[in-house]
Amino acid sequence: MCGRLSQYRGIHDFVAVLSMPGALVNSVGDQPLGHFNAAPTLPLALFHVVADRLYVDAVRWGWRPHWATERVAPVNARIEKVAHGHFFRQIWPHRAICPIDNWFEWVDEGGPKRQPYLIRHHDGSPILCAAIGQLPAPDEGQGEHDGFVIITADAQGGMVDLHDRRPVVLTPQLAREWLDPATPKERAEQMALTQGEPAESFAWFKANPRVGNVRNQGPELIEPAEYSE
């Protein structure tokens, strides 16, 4: 999975798909989020649960432990290693969902530049990505070291032609179970390893090359059309 995605609709559209009962504590507001071309280090809306309440906070995309100061903060974590490796040990118990509209991959098709592709659900519905992070404490706002990573797995089916990794996307039912602090860590690992949505749930198409510049934003970046530079 390359480090670029979209999170542009309003948070209540994501909440409706998650369909999680109980109180919502919303710190990102009610307006459309507007991130058509989100890159690492950008604060993104993230769901997590504290004391039976669903929180949505803007959390930095990317995280590293305090002792790993000489490397760039990763934005993804491989499910094959994340549950038992040293690097993410601190945040593996702290599960979250990053709701997105789509993500992008770049493919070498023999041209002067790699071609970006947009991947989304067939029906355009929100995508619920499994994530873990160092998350904001209730009513305290984002801390200096807060951040999150998206869990990734091997690509499947035709997705292999785009990239060898993909985000672990959960159905709403599994996303609710993932968020539940009572879900055992072993069950969470099993869900991420074996129960992510299959490649058949997604469609992809060539995207506007302007998405390569993170300063470019706007709905034209997500339109399913061919573009020339």
Question: Mean pLDDT throughout 40-59?
Answer: 96
- pLDDT band of residue 225 (cuts 50, 70, 90) is low
The pLDDT of residue 161: 80
Q: Could you tell me the two tokens for 117?
A: 């592709």
CATH number of the domain located at residue range(s) 5-222 in this protein: 3.90.1680.10
**Which pTM does this prediction carry?**
0.94
- pLDDT band of residue 226 (cuts 50, 70, 90) is low
Question: Which residues form the catalytic set?
Answer: 2, 105
The closest of 151, 95, 102, 155 to 124, measured between CA atoms, is 102
Q: Could you tell me the two tokens for 102?
A: 């789509």
How far apart (Å, rounded) are the C-alpha atoms in residues 38 and 43?
9
Q: Three-state SS string across 139-167, please?
A: CCCCCCCCEEEEEEEECCHHHHHCCCEEE
The closest of 45, 55, 43 to 143, measured between CA atoms, is 43
- pLDDT band of residue 228 (cuts 50, 70, 90) is very low
pLDDT tens-digit map of 136-169: 988 776 778 899 999 999 988 778 888 889 999 9
Is pLDDT at 70 greater than 90 in this prediction? no
Is pLDDT at 2 greater than 90 in this prediction? no
